[in-house]
Amino acid sequence: MRKAVADRQNYDKEHKELTSFKKLQKEIARKLRTCFIGDLARIEKFFGKYWGHGLSYDKLSPAQQKIYQLYQDLRTDILNAGNKLIRGIEMDLKQYTILLNKQYSIINKR
């Protein structure tokens, strides 16, 4: 009976750690994505007029098409760098035991 109780307590602890880890991982990824997607929106807001933001591609002048392509390259670089950063943070988080304590995360190095 004691072994069953101990096994259940161990299972509950491991489940709580895994759930806490996944929740923290998801929150960090969401906040980082919000950050760099917001940066892209600000670029569009301030510089979109130079490539005819909101117009269809076939209505852009050759100069606007060139600027639009530069923006697309920049956008791809920002998204790739952000996703690489998220993957790196996820790898770093795996080195810790994470327990959610109400609204705060307590992180202990494994």
Q: Say what the pLDDT of residue 76 is.
A: 97
The contacts of residue 91 (CB under 8 Å, 6+ apart) are none
Q: CA–CA separation, 28 vs 92, rounded Å?
A: 12
**83-91: average pLDDT:** 95
CA dihedral 19, 31, 68, 48 (to 10 degrees): 150
pLDDT for 11 equals 66
CB-based contact 96:103 (threshold 8 Å): no
pLDDT at 48 (0 to 100): 96
Predicted confidence at residue 16, as pLDDT, reads 78
Segment 7-25 shows an average pLDDT of 78
Between residues 17 and 63, the one the model is more confident about: 63
Strand, helix or coil at 101? strand
Domain ranges (residues) in the chain: 2-109
Query: What pLDDT is attached to residue 104?
Result: 53
How many whole angstroms separate alpha carbon 30 and alpha carbon 35?
Answer: 9
| Whole-prediction pTM | 0.74
Question: Does the pLDDT of residue 21 top 80, yes or no?
Answer: yes
